[in-house]
């Protein structure tokens, strides 16, 4: 007689614990890119890693993202995240026009531009201002270290008046404040943060991804090789000692039911609902500031700029602002996928136009 007949079978081995996945079922490794070749400790690498976290947590499909950049250490970083996405590395300062073309040709893509303070505010300024005034829907990250890192650390247009190079040379030109400029020119999401303040950076990037128009995120991102010394106002030490967050904020996407997902303690707070879903939760920190008030945002930046204060946070948000697609009355389909019958005028239509031009 068998003694094993009634012995229940051994339980099936528990499935091996797999990697943590996002709402699409994708592990974070699906959002990573090539290994960085930047200097160890460069602030730009922190931004890269936080972009990976933000896109993974937001559950954006990697193949629906188009990454664009210009030239500089900062512009190299689009190679270091989202290696399953589309990408284009443009000429120095010319990313905005390439990005405009890409998102117009396929409005179903999520546009992400990464640029430097030189790429944006020096050679690229002529293109950047038109991206702002058109409100082209995309995330635009400025990795702002106050120098041209790739060409060995010359002052850039965002270097503060009176700040010093490693050689002791003092900057005698006033800085351009890119957040003030963006608000003036009609950008509907404008934030400044610090690459060493990863918690704030992550929440701002998550909210920026949910915005319907151009979201400008100016990240002070120290260059450890050329601008991290005493006398610099873009060094880690300067940033850590002088950063003044204007509020605490968190972004709660629609599928994250509970507010506890976001680390915003109870207190005097406000909610800003985003049209594509999700809510920005803002807790005031001392000052009575509402980022939906454009005039207040400009006043705050002008006053703090005159005092050379390093404020961080979401300065301005207008979730309802018309973007470039609205202004062009663009249909829901990607232009790039329309059949020839829809994009090519008929012979009769061409004849009519030619007739009118006679
Ligand atoms: C047309 C053109 N002019 C000048 C250069 C040289 N150049 C390369 S990167 C760069 C500045 C990059 O500075 P920034 O955008 O701040 O990026 P960072 O390296 O600091 O991240 C310059 C002037 C170039 N590549 N092309
Ligand atoms: S030179 Fe500066 S900006 Fe470029 S990788 Fe090195 S630390 Fe970063
Ligand atoms: Mg720079």
Q: Which of 37, 42, 72 to mutate to test the pocket of ligand 1 (most atoms within 8 A of CB)?
A: 72
> Cα-flanking dihedrals φ and ψ of residue 134, to 5°?
-85, -15
* Residue pair 158/176 in contact by the 8 Å Cβ criterion: yes
Q: CA–CA separation, 198 vs 213, rounded Å? A: 24
Q: Does residue 92's CB lie within 6 angstroms of at least one atom of ligand 1? A: yes
Q: CA–CA separation, 141 vs 304, rounded Å? A: 22
223 C-alpha to ligand 2 centroid (Å): 5
Q: CA–CA separation, 114 vs 51, rounded Å? A: 10
Residue with token string 């920190």 = 285
pLDDT bin (cut points 50, 70, 90) of residue 275 is: confident
Whole-number average pLDDT of the chain: 93
pLDDT value, residue 266: 59
Closest ligand 2 atom to residue 152 Cα is 1
Q: Does residue 117's CB lie within 6 angstroms of at least one atom of ligand 1? A: yes
pLDDT bin (cut points 50, 70, 90) of residue 4 is: very low
Mean pLDDT calculated for residue range 31-57: 98
Q: Does residue 239's CB lie within 6 angstroms of at least one atom of ligand 1? A: no
- For the stretch 49-101, pLDDT in tens is 999 999 999 999 999 999 999 999 999 999 999 999 999 999 999 999 999 99
Mean pLDDT calculated for residue range 116-124: 98
pTM of the model: 0.92
> Cα-flanking dihedrals φ and ψ of residue 223, to 5°?
-95, 105
């Amino acid at each position: 007689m068998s003694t094993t007949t009634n012995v229940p079978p051994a339980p099936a081995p528990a499935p091996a614990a797999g990697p943590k996945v996002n709402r699409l079922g994708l592990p974070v490794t699906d959002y990573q890119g090539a290994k960085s070749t930047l200097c160890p400790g460069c602030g730009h690498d922190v931004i890269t890693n936080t972009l990976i976290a933000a896109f993974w947590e937001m559950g954006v499909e990697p193949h629906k993202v188009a990454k664009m950049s210009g030239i500089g250490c900062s512009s190299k970083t689009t190679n270091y995240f989202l290696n399953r996405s589309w990408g284009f590395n443009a000429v120095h300062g010319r990313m905005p026009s390439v990005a405009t073309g890409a998102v117009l040709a396929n409005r179903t893509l999520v546009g992400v531009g990464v640029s430097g303070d030189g790429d944006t505010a020096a050679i690229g300024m002529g293109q950047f201002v038109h991206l702002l005034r058109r409100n082209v829907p995309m995330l635009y990250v400025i990795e702002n270290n106050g120098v041209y890192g790739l060409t060995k650390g010359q002052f850039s247009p965002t270097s503060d008046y009176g700040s010093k190079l490693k050689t002791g040379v003092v900057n005698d030109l006033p800085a351009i404040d890119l957040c003030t400029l963006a608000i003036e020119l009609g950008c509907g999401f404008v934030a400044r943060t610090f690459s060493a303040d990863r918690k704030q950076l992550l929440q701002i990037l998550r909210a920026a991804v949910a915005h319907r128009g151009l979201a400008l995120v100016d990240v002070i991102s120290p260059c450890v090789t050329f601008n991290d010394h005493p006398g610099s106002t873009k060094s880690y030490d300067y940033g850590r000692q002088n950063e003044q967050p204007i509020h605490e904020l968190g972004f709660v996407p629609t599928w994250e039911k509970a507010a506890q997902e976001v680390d915003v303690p109870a207190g005097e707070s406000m909610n800003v609902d985003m049209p594509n879903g999700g809510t920005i939760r803002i807790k005031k920190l001392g000052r009575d500031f509402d980022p939906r008030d454009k005039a207040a945002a400009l006043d705050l930046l002008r006053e703090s700029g005159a005092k050379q204060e390093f404020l961080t946070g979401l300065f301005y948000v207008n979730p309802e602002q018309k973007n470039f697609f609205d202004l062009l009355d663009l249909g829901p389909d990607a232009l790039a996928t329309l059949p020839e019958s829809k994009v090519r005028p008929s012979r009769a239509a061409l004849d009519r136009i030619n007739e009118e031009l006679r």
